[in-house]
Chains A and B, each alone.
Chain A
Amino acid sequence: MNRQTRRYKVQLAVIGSGLAGFAASVFALERGIHCAQVGNTGAIAYTTGYFDLLGSHQHRLLNDPWAGLDRLLSSEPDHPLSRIAKAEIRTAFDRFTQTLTEMGISYTRAGDRNLFALTPAGTLKPTLSVPMTMQSGIAARERGAKVLIADFWGLQGFSANEFVANGKASWPQLSATRLAFPDMESGAQVFPEVMARALEVPVNRERLAERLSAVLGDAESIGMPAIMGIHKPDHVHAELERLVGVPLF
């Protein structure tokens, strides 16, 4: 049997579909280089969403990753990051996150300080840039705002109680609640991917928003596991916030 082979003629072949491959393609396209990227599912499916530069050095968390970088390079002169100028790192971060923003997954810019992102366990993680959908949680913590954390029946590995138990020492105004996700009320296992996709549909957003509004009380904001959209998270996030009327993260 013969099978047709397709030939693609490009200027650059990028092999690998992880973050590095993706970034290589983005930067090549920006320069007008015609490229093709090949690869399989890999570690990119397991990324956290945070973009780290340097979160800690010698077991100390860093507020200022750039200063931390100086210290790292003086203790480890051969570290791979020594090959790139700081300005280039910053530009690359910003250009890459800019591309994501254009795709509907907005990121914060690479600032001078680490952000202290909220982990699913309610602890803090220093990182340079996070999806905008996480941003209002970081801000709420800094203000010590009254915040409700919601988890869902059937969703394993995220417990609002756990988040609150771990966060409450520095954030006393936290409380926990548990909701049933629209059309996933049976209590059987639900997957975040499925919930996130469901929220891409307007009617499902409206139904979830009703449930969120019902438990909001006097909370200023609601935090949830990462289910606010997967293809167009910015849009889903904005729409849900509009429907509930408070910042969500």
Chain B
Amino acid sequence: MNTQETNGVETFETDVLIIGGGVTGTGVMRDLALRGIHCLLIDRRDLNAGASGGNHGLLHSGGRYASQDAETAAECRQEGDILRRIAAECIDDCGGLFVAVEGDDPEFAEAFSGHCKAAGIQCTSLSPMEAREREPMLSERVFAAYAVTDATIDPFRITLGNVNHAQQLTRSLFLPHTEVERFEIENGVISSAWCRDMRTGARRRILARQVVNAAGAWAMQVAQLAGCSEVRLLYSKGTLIISNTRIGQGVINHLRRPGDGDILVPGGTVSLLGTTSDNIESLDDIRPTVAEVERVLNEGRAMVPCLEKTRFIRAFSGVRPLLLASGSGADGRAVSRGFTLFDHQDQGLENFATVTGGKLTTFRLMAEKTGDLVARRLGNTQPCRTATESLPSGDAIRWTEPGFAPRDWYKRNDPQDMILCECEMVPQSAIDSIVESAPGAEQQMTLQAIGVRSRVGKGSCQGSFCSIRVTSHLYDRGVYDSSQGLLHMRDFLSARFKGVQPVLWGEQMPQMELSEALHCSLMGLDQLESQSDAPDGIGDPEST
């Protein structure tokens, strides 16, 4: 790939420009790289900044869709099997239960195993007592239970693995914080994409033979930049809450028509309770609310009563991009979880494709279909290899797995390798490997970027201590030599607090009081702007 700078505008050349650093975009990147194609991946923020990072990491058995959407259910099952083969390290094959409690529709529960069978999904009926043996915290009021092959998957590790592998295969490149502002279109071909660096404001021009829009919830906006109006999305916001410790052994689904708080998913050392589904108009300022948290919790308690006394450390929200077929209703849960690949041919564009809808479990299939289209357009005859080629690991991309960093640290037995994040026990050596060579390391690796690539900030203190220690370490490494490091730390903590705010009760309250003491009272992070506003450091008009 050529990079040149003319008139202060950096120009990049690539075979394929991929817009959107979620599982789909990075999946496409790896798919194409396996066919020998060079890609440039951009994201207006960072990897998994949208729905790919805002979900419960469930690898669906398909059971959830068995009753309503047999096609998606079957797709989930097949893709689940493939991912277990090619990305075993990213998966916790913990199994799952569907449970109905008193008050639920017995007929719906009754019909479940039949629906599963129809979709080819493994499903075993359990007595309530057997179910409680597997998951002792289940409600006494469970009257029906089925075991399914649900698993969990680490979407961050998948994404990092995809980019890492693509970089190795074809020296493909990832540029974070890069937003498309406009496309130059000549004779039905996008000739260049004009982008902006969201942090520096610098302009970038990308010359690509093909452009893939994998912008998730933002896919409609990106498509419109290219003049394509047929991508119509329904934005469905979902909120989840994270417990301080892992509550169940496996996934626990509420056996009823999909609703709030109907799934509890283990995520390594924690559990995630979700999910709400509310249609929203705008993608700006997505944040969880107290009302959503209460809804999820109230519903979740029916299945697992101990949630009442569970310590929750954070809430977060993602936006599902649901495809709105003409005439379909406005209920987000009723819209198909299937995906669509638009070739935009009928809009007169030769080198633009949009892939959207779908789910985490089916990302590989989405990438395969997109890769097939793009490769064909490029005249590349290589077949898709993602269903058989294992996703390789790497030193800099293993740190998102809970418990990996401390085990690695303990084994290495090096007293000088400081633990920088105490909750998740992430040592300095892990941070160093991320700063040196994790995807995106060519750009500045900020605290937030490190957070995406590790467990830093994910534990019960939500960044209270690690933010200070990691920032100090980054200053010592020379990553920062100005006040930018503190501004980044402040931004990181603000982003964390957005999620902590709606779960502030019980132990999380003193935890955040402590955080405030550290960041505001001690370090004055709340007053950083006031300091920089006044050039002499201190401003107080009345007294000057």
Touch between A and B in complex, CB under 8 Å? yes
Q: Is the CB of A48 within 8 A of B542?
A: no
Contact of B531 among A61, A64, A158, A162 (CB under 8 A): A61
Q: Is the CB of A165 within 8 A of B537?
A: no
Which residues of chain B (505-544) have a CB below 8 Å from chain A?
513-514, 517-518, 521-524, 527-531, 534, 536-544
- For residue B187, CB closer than 8 A to chain A, the reply is no
Distance between Cα atoms of A52 and B471 in the complex (Å): 26
Q: Is the CB of B543 within 8 A of A157?
A: no
Nearest Cβ on chain A to B18's Cβ, whole angstroms: 36
- For residue B473, CB closer than 8 A to chain A, the reply is yes
Q: Which residues of B contact A64 (CB under 8 A)?
A: 540, 542-543
Q: Which residues of B contact A189 (CB under 8 A)?
A: 415, 418-419
- For residue B2, CB closer than 8 A to chain A, the reply is no
- For residue B416, CB closer than 8 A to chain A, the reply is yes
Nearest Cβ on chain A to B464's Cβ, whole angstroms: 11
Which residues of chain A (174-207) have a CB below 8 Å from chain B?
186-189
Q: Which residues of B contact A67 (CB under 8 A)?
A: 542-543
Q: Interface size of A by Cβ–Cβ distance < 8 Å?
A: 38
Q: Is the CB of B418 within 8 A of A154?
A: yes
Which residues of chain A (123-182) have a CB below 8 Å from chain B?
123-126, 154, 156-159, 161-162, 165-166, 169-170
Q: Is the CB of A63 within 8 A of B543?
A: yes
Distance between Cα atoms of A126 and B538 in the complex (Å): 9
Nearest Cβ on chain A to B444's Cβ, whole angstroms: 14
Nearest Cβ on chain A to B70's Cβ, whole angstroms: 55
Report the interface size class on chain B: 35 or more
Nearest Cβ on chain B to A58's Cβ, whole angstroms: 10
Q: Is the CB of B530 within 8 A of A56?
A: yes
A-B contact count (CB 8 A): 112
- For residue A120, CB closer than 8 A to chain B, the reply is yes
Secondary structure at chain A's binding surface: helix, strand, loop or mixed? loop
Distance between Cα atoms of A158 and B453 in the complex (Å): 24
Distance between Cα atoms of A162 and B541 in the complex (Å): 29
- For residue B483, CB closer than 8 A to chain A, the reply is yes
Q: Which residues of A contact B540 (CB under 8 A)?
A: 60-64
Q: Which residues of B contact A121 (CB under 8 A)?
A: 486, 523-524
- For residue B395, CB closer than 8 A to chain A, the reply is no
Most buried by B among A46, A50, A64, A189: A46
- For residue A43, CB closer than 8 A to chain B, the reply is yes
Q: Is the CB of A165 within 8 A of B485?
A: yes
Q: Is the CB of B527 within 8 A of A61?
A: yes
* Nearest A-chain residue to B416, judged by Cβ: A187
- For residue B481, CB closer than 8 A to chain A, the reply is yes
Q: Which residues of A contact B517 (CB under 8 A)?
A: 43, 46-48
Q: Is the CB of B531 within 8 A of A123?
A: yes
Which residues of chain B (97-153) have a CB below 8 Å from chain A?
none
- For residue A59, CB closer than 8 A to chain B, the reply is yes
Nearest Cβ on chain A to B542's Cβ, whole angstroms: 6
Nearest Cβ on chain B to A71's Cβ, whole angstroms: 9
Q: Is the CB of B539 within 8 A of A158?
A: no
Q: Is the CB of A60 within 8 A of B521?
A: no
Nearest Cβ on chain B to A61's Cβ, whole angstroms: 5
Q: Is the CB of B536 within 8 A of A170?
A: yes
Report if A156-B472 is in contact (Cβ < 8 Å); known contacts: A125-B524, A166-B486, A187-B416.
yes
Which residues of chain B (385-402) have a CB below 8 Å from chain A?
none
- For residue A213, CB closer than 8 A to chain B, the reply is no
Q: Is the CB of B523 within 8 A of A123?
A: yes
- For residue A74, CB closer than 8 A to chain B, the reply is no
- For residue B295, CB closer than 8 A to chain A, the reply is no
- For residue B480, CB closer than 8 A to chain A, the reply is yes
Taken residue by residue from 32 to 50, chain A's Cβ proximity to chain B (1 for < 8 Å, 0 otherwise) reads as 0000000000010011101
Q: Which residues of B contact A61 (CB under 8 A)?
A: 527, 530-531, 534, 538-540
Please name the 10 residue pairs, one residue from A and one from B, whose CB atoms are nearest each other, closest first: A162-B475, A159-B472, A63-B540, A188-B415, A187-B416, A125-B524, A63-B543, A48-B522, A170-B537, A161-B475
A46-B514, A157-B472 provided; 15 other pairs, C-beta below 8 A?
A48-B522, A52-B521, A67-B543, A116-B538, A124-B524, A124-B531, A126-B527, A126-B538, A154-B418, A156-B418, A161-B476, A161-B481, A162-B475, A165-B482, A169-B483
A/B interface sample: 29 pairs, CB < 8 A: A43-B517, A47-B517, A48-B522, A55-B527, A60-B539, A61-B527, A61-B530, A64-B543, A67-B542, A67-B543, A119-B522, A119-B523, A123-B483, A124-B524, A124-B538, A125-B524, A126-B538, A156-B418, A157-B465, A157-B469, A158-B472, A159-B472, A162-B471, A162-B485, A165-B475, A166-B486, A187-B416, A188-B416, A189-B418
